[in-house]
Structure 1
Amino acid sequence: MGNIRKVWQPELFYHITMRGNNKQCIFMNKEDFKFFFYTLQQAHTIYSFTIIAYSLINNHYHLLIRSPRVPLSEVLIFINQQYSEYFKCKYKFIGQLYETRYYTNMISEPLELLKVSKYIHQNHLFVQRTFLDKLDNYPNCSYSFYVNDKKDQPTYLNTHLLPSLIKKYPEFKIDNYKLFCEHIQMEIEKPSHRPYSLT
């Protein structure tokens, strides 16, 4: 897990990636994905964090998450332990479910939030080497909540920040977050750096 507790900054988002040990699957079926989302909800009740993008693939998951109240390491320990116990009990699994460390990247600029969120929302397309008719057809990704604002979304998910940020970057030549995510090959000009702010 590294020194995420020491570098934790409550005002910033972090890109977290957790993989199965030796690239093994950590989600076997719909019930496993469902339990992981249940675990996220449980963790949110205790720690009150915010996620702006997520994607769950069979052998790993991505979260773009901010934890304003407690070190993010505590949140991730809870999530990973709860899910690991569920998986080991259900499948009589013995051994290490995850890699020894999760990948973590602190995001300090709004532009990086947009780029990382796009990567997360497109991740299943490249991992599964298939393109769906619509990006939001994949059920284990937060993108569908950006497309359908009438869909009941989990309390830990914030779908307002990213669409508001993209309008601040004319270099994208697009001011619609959904189109930004769905443009697979879009080239991005090098932007000027701007300070990160949630407001």
Structure 2
Amino acid sequence: MPRRKRNWHPHAYYHVSMRGNNRQNIFQTQEDITELMRIMEYGAAKDGFTMLAYCVMSNHYHLLIRSEYVDLAKVMARINRRYSDYYAKRYSHVGRIYEKRYFSKQANGPNAILAISSYIHRNPIDTQIPIVEKPEDYLYSSYRYYANEELTPPSFLRTNVVAYLLPNPIDKTNQAYCQYCLTYKQVAEEDKQLEV
């Protein structure tokens, strides 16, 4: 039976996550994550997608992504196939590295975008044993570009959007957004599925 075609709306942001097969690590080293980021840069140049948030953990990753011109399924196929090919070559791995198709859910409105981005950015501090004390100390997340505006973000990351979605009377600044992330712990729909 063929897979059901996913809904795609070109102006919508989607929470996308991908996990390693049997919860195994698919990012063994810093070089692996650097390669994924390089693949994303390539994909953004080719397909024109943008992100508001991302976080790469050892056995999964999260994106808050919008693809206006190319179907998101094609964008994700390119990213995941290229990384899978890299992983197979580097580690002489045979077979699939991903558990199943990527999870995706449309972020319906400003509150959903805020909740999802906060959830993504809190990943490194919300593990059973926190990986870092502060989210800005985690190198493989977009949070640090919100926390330190002197850093140059990847070309596909837009750090000038989410703060404007903060509820009143909160200031519409990245500093206020970072405080929002630290203050409000969010739970995403696939939270239980992606526990490390």
TM-score bucket (shorter structure): 0.7 to 0.9
- Does the CA-based 8 Å contact 2:17-2:63 persist in structure 1? yes
The reply on whether 1:94 has 2:100 as its aligned counterpart is no
The reply on whether 1:56 has 2:47 as its aligned counterpart is no
- Secondary structure in 2 aligned to 1:62? strand
- Does the CA-based 8 Å contact 1:2-1:101 persist in structure 2? no
- Taking the aligned partners of 1:109 and 1:185, their CA distance within structure 2 comes to 18
Shift of 1:127: 2.5
Letter in 2 for 1:36: L
**Structure 1 runs of 4+ off > 6 angstroms?**
none
Identity rate, percent:
35
The reply on whether 1:179 has 2:148 as its aligned counterpart is no
Q: Please give the per-residue CA displacement for 1:22-59, whole angstroms capped at 9, x wherever unaligned.
A: 11111001000000000000001100101000000000
Q: Equivalences for 1:119-198 in 2 at 5 Å?
A: 119-127=119-127, 129-130=129-130, 132-166=132-166, 169-170=167-168, 174-175=170-171, 176-183=176-183
- Secondary structure in 2 aligned to 1:39? helix
Aligned to 1:196: none
Q: Equivalences for 1:69-80 in 2 at 5 Å?
A: 69-80=69-80
The reply on whether 1:26 has 2:26 as its aligned counterpart is yes
Shift of 1:133: 3.5
- Does the CA-based 8 Å contact 2:124-2:132 persist in structure 1? no
Letter in 2 for 1:46: K
- Secondary structure in 2 aligned to 1:155? coil
TM normalised by structure 1 equals 0.86
Aligned to 1:35: 35
Aligned length: 180
Shift of 1:180: 0.3
TM normalised by structure 2 equals 0.87
